[in-house]
Chains A and B, each alone.
Chain A
Amino acid sequence: DAGVIQSPRHEVTEMGQEVTLRCKPISGHDYLFWYRQTMMRGLELLIYFNNNVPIDDSGMPEDRFSAKMPNASFSTLKIQPSEPRDSAVYFCASTEMGKGHKNTEAFFGQGTRLTVV
């Protein structure tokens, strides 16, 4: 498997523009996560899906952020309108429920470095 694939790797956009980040999870994984990494706040979980359904979006910073998972192999994270303080590295990760319905490790994509100017 190619692992978790994110695109684009780098995105530079102007304040006020819409930004869409994309993620393809590992085939067969039933959980997908979006994380944000900044120097100030470290790794923050924004939202996660189970079987394409959003389960917990309490980490989404505000209404400008939205995420969708239309099918098992694709998810998007959208910021509209974008602001300079959204500049960060955004990671997508996926995992599957293991035996006994317990957590297994999450596999991370290489991230999208977003810069909003």
Chain B
Amino acid sequence: AQSVTQLGSHVSVSEGALVLLRCNYSSSVPPYLFWYVQYPNQGLQLLLKYTTGATLVKGINGFEAEFKKSETSFHLTKPSAHMSDAAEYFCAVSDGRGGYNKLIFGAGTRLAVHP
């Protein structure tokens, strides 16, 4: 079975500060990993994903994440927070072996950015 744990339901940073949102996963098979962002009253939008290959993946809006198999982590970072980054962020995992397997989402982390 697969699962996702997002550490910290709320994270608050100053504008210009580093953003770090933590995600740990559990999977007995090679995982595919995703970060989605949800703005107020909107659906989820893909930020970035890891499937195979390079473990450091870059996404939209300056975000990136690194897949660390030894730590079963896929933390999301951005060097400098912008006010527009305030949103809720979801980490998700699926079975990467082939054939369709459903996405399992974490509980989400709400990011607040203050001046």
Contacts and interface: CB of A to CB of B under 8 A. Distances in A.
- A, B bound: yes
Interface of A: 4, 31, 33, 42-43, 45, 48, 50, 55-56, 91, 93, 97, 100-103, 105-111, 113
Interface string B1-32: 00000000000000000000000000000001
B100 A103 contact: yes
B105 A42 contact: yes
A42 B103 CA distance: 13
Interface of B: 32, 34, 36, 41-46, 49, 51, 90, 94-103, 105-108
B100 A50 contact: yes
Contacts of B44: 91, 93, 106, 108
Given A42-B108, A100-B98, A101-B98, A106 B43 contact: no
B99 A101 contact: yes
A111 B51 CA distance: 27
B43 A103 contact: no
Given A108-B43, A108-B45, A110-B42, A103 B108 contact: no
A43 B99 CA distance: 22
Nearest to A108: B43
A12 to B, nearest CB: 16
B29 to A, nearest CB: 12
Nearest to B46: A105
Contact of A45 (B49, B103, B108): B103
B67 to A, nearest CB: 15
Contacts of B95: 103
Given A91-B43, A91-B44, A48 B34 contact: no
Contact of A43 (B32, B41, B100, B105): B105
